[in-house]
Structure 1
C-alpha cells in the first residue's frame, strides 16, 4: 500500500478530470456496443473497453491514495436489445472517433501540465501512448471498411505509392517544417547564451531531435513535390556578451536568464506536442501517421527529460 501523499491543485484536477472523461468514454462504448452490427467492429469495441477499464483502475487507486473526491462511476454495464438500422456502424464509428480524439487532447494536456510529480506524469504518458495505439487500431479498421472521409488531394503533388497527398497533409508537412526551423534557431540562440551546463546539454539534445525531425519532414515534402520553405542560417553569431547577463543589472536582460529561457522553451515544447498530436490523427497516409506518432513519442520523452 502506498503512503498517503499530498499533491497540488493542478494534479488534483488532472486526476479528477482524467477519471471523468474515462467514465464518459466507458458509458459511450457500453451504450453503442448494443447497436453495432459488424462482428469485427464489436470485437474491437470490446478490446478498447477492456483497455479503458484497465487504465481506470490505475487512476482510481491514485485518487484513493491522494484522497481526491473522484466523480461517480457509471453502471457496471448498459444492456438493451434493439435493432435500429438508421444507426449505422459508420455513424457509431464517427461518434467513437470524435470522443477518442477529444480524450486524446485532454490526456495530452494532462501530460503537459503534470510537471511536479514524475511518477504520475509517467502514468499519464503511458496512458496517452496506449490511447494513441487504440486510436490507430480503430482508424485502420475504419479505413479498411471505407468509413473515412477523404480530403481533397494536392494536385501539384507527385504520386507516391497508393496514397495521394491531400491538401491537409501538404499544409501540415510544410507548417511543421517551418516550425522546426524556427525552433532550431531559438535553440541555437539559447545555447549561445545559456550558463548552466545541464541546461546546455538538454539544449544540445533538443537540437539533435529537431534536426532529425526536420530532415524527415524535408524528405516527405521533397518526395511529394511540395515547395520547401527557406532554411535557417547554418549558424547564428551571438553579438552580445552573455557573461554580464548573469547579473540582473540592465532591465532588458531578463529574457537571457536560464530560468526565463527554460520557461520559454518549455512552453514551445508543450505547444509542439499538441500540434504533433493533432496532426498525427488527421493524416490519411499510413507512413505519415506513423512518422508523426513517432515524433510525438520522442518529443514526449524529450519533454520529460526537460522538466525532470
Structure 2
C-alpha cells in the first residue's frame, strides 16, 4: 500500500517559512556562492581539458541553484549574503597547483555541500515546497559527486583505501573496510527499526497509523532480505536478529500515537544520514554505491510523505514562523 494514499488533501502553506527554513535558504546560498568562486578560481589552473568540462558542469549546477535560492530569498524577504564577483581570472597558470590537488579540494567541497543539504532537508518541515526544492538540489549534488568520483578514478587521482580482508576472492571490485561496515551497519539499523515498529504496532490507536507501520515493516523486511543476501555473498558477518515480539503487560493508553510517530520520524532522519555516509564512503564498489543511492531516494520519498501525514495529524513540532510573506 502506498502511504500517500493515506494522506488527505489539506491546504498547502507554501507562502510561509519557519525561522530555521529562513536560515537554510541563507546558509545554502552562502555556501553556493563560495562553491562557485572555488570552481571559478581552480579553472584558471586546470591542465586537463576533460577536467575543465566537468568543472563547467558543476558551475552551471551551482548557478542554477543560486538563482532559485535568490528568488526564494526575495519572496520571503530574507537578508541575503554578499554576492561574489562575476568571475575569478588569472593571467598566468601555476604548475604547482596540479589537477590532482584541485580534484581533492573540489571533492571535499562537494562532501561539505552534501552534508549541509542533508541538514537542510532534515530541518525544513514547515514549507513542503521548499523541502522538495532542497531534496532535488541534494539529488543533483549526488549526481555531481558521482561524476566527480568516477572521473577521479578514471584519471588515477583517487587514493588506495584499506581492503576488507576475506577468504572469499571477489570477482570484480573488492570491498573497502568502510563498505563492509556500512553493509553491516545498515542491517543493524533495519533490525532495530523493524523491532521498534513491531512493538509500536501493538500500541497504535489510529487505524491509518497502524497501516503505515505495517507498510514500513513490509518495506524494511524487503530491504533486510536484500542486505542479508549481499552480506553473505561478500562474507560480511551478520548481526544477531531481535527476539520475537511478545505480548506486553503495559497499558496501551500510556503510549500515544504522537509519541510513537515522532520516534519513527527520528529513526528516518538517522537512516537518511546513514545512507548519505554510505554513499560518500563507498569508494570502490560501484554496484554498492547504486544500492545506497536507491535506498536514499526511497527514504527521502518516504520521509516526505510521512512528515506530511504527521503534519495533517498535528503530531509534528510547530517551529516559529519567520516574518511575514510577500503578498
2:270 equivalent in structure 1? 271
Is 2:21 the counterpart of 1:22?
Answer: no
Q: Which residue of 2 aligns with 1:62?
A: 72
Residue 240 of structure 1: which of 249, 272, 280 is its match?
Answer: 249
Cα contact 1:157–1:226 (8 A) shared by 2: no
What is the rounded CA distance, in whole Å, between the counterparts of 2:169 and 2:125 in structure 1? 44
Q: Is this contact kept in 2: 1:36–1:42, CA < 8 A?
A: yes
- Does the CA-based 8 Å contact 1:276-1:292 persist in structure 2? yes
Match of 2:190 in 1: 180
Post-superposition offset of 1:6: 3.5
Which residue number in structure 2 is paired with residue 248 of structure 1? none
Show the counterpart of 2:57.
Answer: 47
CA deviations over 1:20-42 (Å, ceiling 9, x no partner): 11111111111111111110010
Long gaps (5+) in structure 1 = 246-252
**TM-score with structure 2 setting the length:** 0.86
Task: Say if 1:54 and 1:304 are closer, same or farther in 2 by CA, change over 3 A.
Answer: same
Q: Distance in 2 between the 1:202 and 1:20 partners?
A: 38
CA RMSD of aligned residues (A): 1.6
Deviates most, 20-29 or 145-154: 145-154
- Pick aligned residue for 1:120 from 111, 124, 130: 130
Unaligned runs of 5+ in 2: 1-12, 309-327
User: Which fold has the larger relative contact order, with Cα–Cα distance below 8 Å and residues 6 or more apart in sequence?
Assistant: 2
CA distance in 2, matches of 1:112, 1:190: 23
Structure 1's 287 and 4: CA in aligned 2 closer, same or farther, altered over 3 A? closer
Matched pairs, number: 295
Q: Which residue of 2 aligns with 1:285?
A: 285
The whole-number CA distance in structure 1 between the counterparts of 2:122 and 2:14 is 24
Conserved? CA contact 2:166–2:235, under 8 Å: yes
Query: For residues 215-268 of structure 1, what are the alpha-carbon distances to aligned partners after superposition, in whole Å with 9 as ceiling and x for unaligned?
Result: 2221221111122112224x412323655x0xxxxxxx3xx2111111111111
Q: How high is the TM-score relative to the length of structure 1?
A: 0.92
